[in-house]
């Protein structure tokens, strides 16, 4: 019975740097791969050559010749029985199911991210279309700006402000820290 064998390395060495997660790119920079990947590839190649140097099947033994040469009755038969019973199993794959489960779990996250990204893209495209429909800033009057951006435009009649018209410079402004301190003081 022929055992499963490693025919060659199935690693795509040129794609290895692209498989590094984004959060680990800084520690595995391009210069690291130029130095480390060849060493790792060399070790892998040495292992594959060592495996291929061994025969796929165990060598055949001339048991009849040994039966003639060994005077102890039953000893060769015992060895032959043990030798024939010896089976070296191919290592079991115990992690593929875990990897598949992780792929499925991450696939749902990827799909959710894609869906959210498509929604953001649509919103940005609407915003771009709105901005393109406006007059260029160079041609806008203060009234045009107020009509286009009512939340950020100065309104001296309904909401008068003090120069430089930032929230921090207005009467009654409270910083985030002040608001948090007041909230904690009331509780």
List, for residues 40-72, the tens digit of each pLDDT value. 777 878 888 888 888 878 788 888 888 888 888
What's the mean pLDDT in 114-135? 94
Residue partners of 20: CB distance under 8 A and separation at least 6: 28
pTM for the model: 0.39
- Report the sign of the C-alpha dihedral through residues 42, 43, 46, 51, in that order: negative
The answer, yes or no, to whether residue 23 has pLDDT greater than 90, is no
The CA dihedral of 128, 130, 132, 138, to the nearest 10 degrees, is: -110
Structural domain boundaries in the chain: 13-54
């Amino acid at each position: 019975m022929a055992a499963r064998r490693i025919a060659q390395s199935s690693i795509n060495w040129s794609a290895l740097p692209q498989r590094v997660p984004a959060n680990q790119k800084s520690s595995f920079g391009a210069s690291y791969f130029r130095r480390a990947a060849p060493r790792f590839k060399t070790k892998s190649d040495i292992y594959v050559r060592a495996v291929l140097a061994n025969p796929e099947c165990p060598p055949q033994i001339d048991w009849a010749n040994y039966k003639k040469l060994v005077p102890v009755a039953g000893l060769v038969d015992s060895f032959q029985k043990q030798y024939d019973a010896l089976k070296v199993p191919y290592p079991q794959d115990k992690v593929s199911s875990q990897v598949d489960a992780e792929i499925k779990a991450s696939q749902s996250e990827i799909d959710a991210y894609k869906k959210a990204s498509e929604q953001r893209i649509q919103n940005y495209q609407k915003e771009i279309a709105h901005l393109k429909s406006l007059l260029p800033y160079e041609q806008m009057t203060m009234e045009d700006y107020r009509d286009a951006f009512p939340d950020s435009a100065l309104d001296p009649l309904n909401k008068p402000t003090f120069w430089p018209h930032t929230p921090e410079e207005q009467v009654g402004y409270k910083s985030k820290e002040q608001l948090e301190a007041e909230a904690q003081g009331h509780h």
